[in-house]
Amino acid sequence: MKPTQNISPTSDDQLAALSSATLDANDVPARVLVAPWGQVESTNGSFVVDDESAALVVAAFDEHGTDIPIDYEHQTLGGTYSSPSGQAPAAGWIKKILSEPGVGILAEIEWTDRAMEMLATKEYRYLSPVALIRKTDRKLSAIHSVALTNKPAIIGMAPIVNSIEHHNEAIIPLVALRQELQLSEDADPHDVLLAASQRIIALERQVKDKHVAHRINEAMRSGKLVEAQRAWAEALVAKEEGLFDEWFNTAPIIVAPGRLAQPHNANGLDSRRQAIIAKARAEFRATPMLTGITNEQAFIASALNEAGLNNSKRSEAA
C-alpha cells in the first residue's frame, strides 16, 4: 500500500522513523507533540527543529493539501514494515500541523475508535513520525507519516501526558491574556508577551503619575506649594521622593488654605523667602553635580538673589 501523502526524500533528505511521544492511556489528546524544539537526539540519528525547520514542515503539509495518516508500526511504508495481511489500517489522521517556538511541531489528530480503545487499554503508548531529515544540515523538513508503536527512539522525550498537561497549563493564561489584550486567537506567544509587558509598563506609569499628582495636590492644599513650583515639585517627587518629603516637612505655609494668591505683607515676604530657601536646598541635594560647581549656601543665596529678595539673612540658608 502506497503512502497517502506523496512526500518523497531527495538526495539531500533522509527518511527516518522516530518515536517522539508517549500517549496517555486515560486521556487521549487531540493535539500531540510530534517533534520537540531544538537539537533532538534519536537512536536513528540527531536532527534539528528550529524556525526554518518548522516553516518547512508546516508548508509541506499545507501545500500537499491532504491529511497525514497515523498507522500501526509504520505499516504504511510497506516492505519490512508490512503487516502479514498486507493491509495498513489507519489509527487516525493528522488534520493540521502547526509549530510553537520553543515547544516543537504539533499535530491535531482525529483518532479512529479502534485506536482510542487500544490506547485506553495501553496496547500502544508511543507516537512515531516518519520524518524527512535534510542531510545538509540535519533539519527536519517534512512529516511523511506517523505511527503508533511501542519502540521509542527519541532520547529523553517527555511522555505526552506530562507534555500536554504542562502545555495546557501554559495555554490557559495565554488565552486569557489574548482576550484581555484584545488580540486575535492565533496571535504569536511572543507578541502576546510583548503586548502584556507594554501594558504593565503603561499601568505602572499611570500608578506613578497618579501618586505624583496626589503628593502635589497635598502640598498645594496645605499651602506650601504654589502653581509656579508645580513642575519642579513633580520632578522631585518622581526622582527623589525622600527629598520632597524633607522639603514638605520643613517648608512654611506660603498660601493660606483657601487662598488663591500669596500674601504681600511683610510676613508673606518672609514666608516666600523660607520657601525659596527650602526649594533651593532640596534642588541642590537632588543634583549631585552641583557640588563640583558651588556649595549649598551659595546656591541658596543665588536663588534668593534671582527672586529679588535680600539675601543678608544668610544664617537662614545654613
3-class secondary structure per residue, 251-287: CCCCCCCCCCCCCCCHHHHHHHHHHHHHHHHHHHHHC
Q: What band does 56 get if pLDDT is binned at 50, 70 and 90?
A: very high
pLDDT at 25: 45
Grid coordinates of 242 = 525622600
Grid coordinates of 32 = 500531540
pLDDT at 37: 87
Q: Answer yes or no: is pLDDT of 231 > 70.
A: yes
> Could you report the per-residue pLDDT of 233-290, keeping only the tens digit for each?
899 888 888 888 888 888 888 766 554 444 444 455 677 788 888 887 887 777 766 6
Report the alpha-carbon distance of residue 70 to residue 124 in Å, rounded.
Answer: 13
The HSE-up count of residue 266 (CA atoms within 13 Å, CB side) is 0
How many other C-beta atoms can be found within 10 angstroms of the C-beta atom of residue 116?
Answer: 13
150 φ, ψ (degrees, to nearest 5): -115, 25
Q: What band does 205 get if pLDDT is binned at 50, 70 and 90?
A: confident
Are 21 and 107 contacting, i.e. CB atoms less than 8 angstroms apart? no
Q: Answer yes or no: is pLDDT of 7 > 70.
A: no
171 φ, ψ (degrees, to nearest 5): -70, -35
Q: Is 23 exposed, middle or buried (0-12, 13-18, 19+ CB in 10 A)?
A: buried
Q: Is 204 helix (H, G, I), strand (E, B) or coil?
A: helix
pLDDT at 269: 65
Using DSSP bridges, classify how beta strands 92-100 and 68-72 pair: parallel, antiparallel or unpaired: antiparallel
Give how far Cα 294 sits from Cα of 213, 283, 317, Å.
32, 13, 14
Q: Where are the domains of the chain?
A: 13-159, 191-317
Closest CA to 10 of 130, 135, 128: 135
Grid coordinates of 76 = 504504511
pLDDT at 50: 93
pTM of the model: 0.43
- Total length of the chain: 318
- Grid cell 485506536 is found at 115
Q: Answer yes or no: is pLDDT of 102 > 60.
A: yes
Closest CA to 263 of 273, 252, 275, 271: 271
Report the alpha-carbon distance of residue 81 to residue 73 in Å, rounded.
Answer: 7
111 vs 154, higher pLDDT: 111
